[in-house]
Amino acid sequence: MTNLEDALVAVEAGADAVGFVFYEKSPRNVSVEAVREIVAKLPESVEKVGVFVNENEGTIGSVIDGTGISAVQMHGDNEDPRVADLVVRSRPHVKVLAAISMHHPNPQGQAMVWHLDVVRAFLVDSGSAAKPGGTGETFDWDAAAPVVAEIKRIGRVVAAGGLSAENVAEAIAILKPWGVDVVSGVEARPGKKDPGKVRAFVRAVREIDRKVS
| Torsions phi, psi for 34 (to 5 deg) | -65, -40
- Helices of type H across the chain: 4-13, 32-39, 57-67, 81-90, 107-112, 141-152, 168-175, 195-212
Contacts 24+ apart (CB under 8 A), 142-147: 142/174, 144/102, 144/107, 144/175, 145/174, 145/175, 147/102, 147/107, 147/108
State whether the Cα torsion 191-87-110-173 is positive or negative. negative
Q: Which pLDDT score, from 0 to 100, does residue 112 have?
A: 95
pLDDT digits (tens, 9 = 90+) for 123-161: 999 864 445 555 568 999 999 999 999 999 999 999 999
pLDDT digits (tens, 9 = 90+) for 174-186: 999 999 999 999 9
Q: Which pLDDT score, from 0 to 100, does residue 129 have?
A: 47
Q: Which pLDDT score, from 0 to 100, does residue 57 have?
A: 97
**104 exposure class (CB count in 10 Å sphere: 0-12, 13-18, 19+):** middle
Contacts 24+ apart (CB under 8 A), 198-204: 198/6, 198/9, 198/10, 198/13, 198/15, 199/9, 199/13, 200/165, 201/13, 201/163, 201/164, 201/165, 201/168, 202/10, 202/13, 202/14, 202/15, 203/13, 203/165, 204/165, 204/168, 204/169
Q: Which pLDDT score, from 0 to 100, does residue 137 have?
A: 83
**CATH annotation of 4-212:** 3.20.20.70
Q: Which pLDDT score, from 0 to 100, does residue 5 have?
A: 98
**Contact by Cβ (8 Å): 7, 1:** yes
pLDDT digits (tens, 9 = 90+) for 4-40: 999 999 999 999 999 999 999 999 999 999 999 999 9
Q: Where are the domains of the chain?
A: 4-212
DSSP class of residue 28 equals T
| Torsions phi, psi for 96 (to 5 deg) | -120, 130
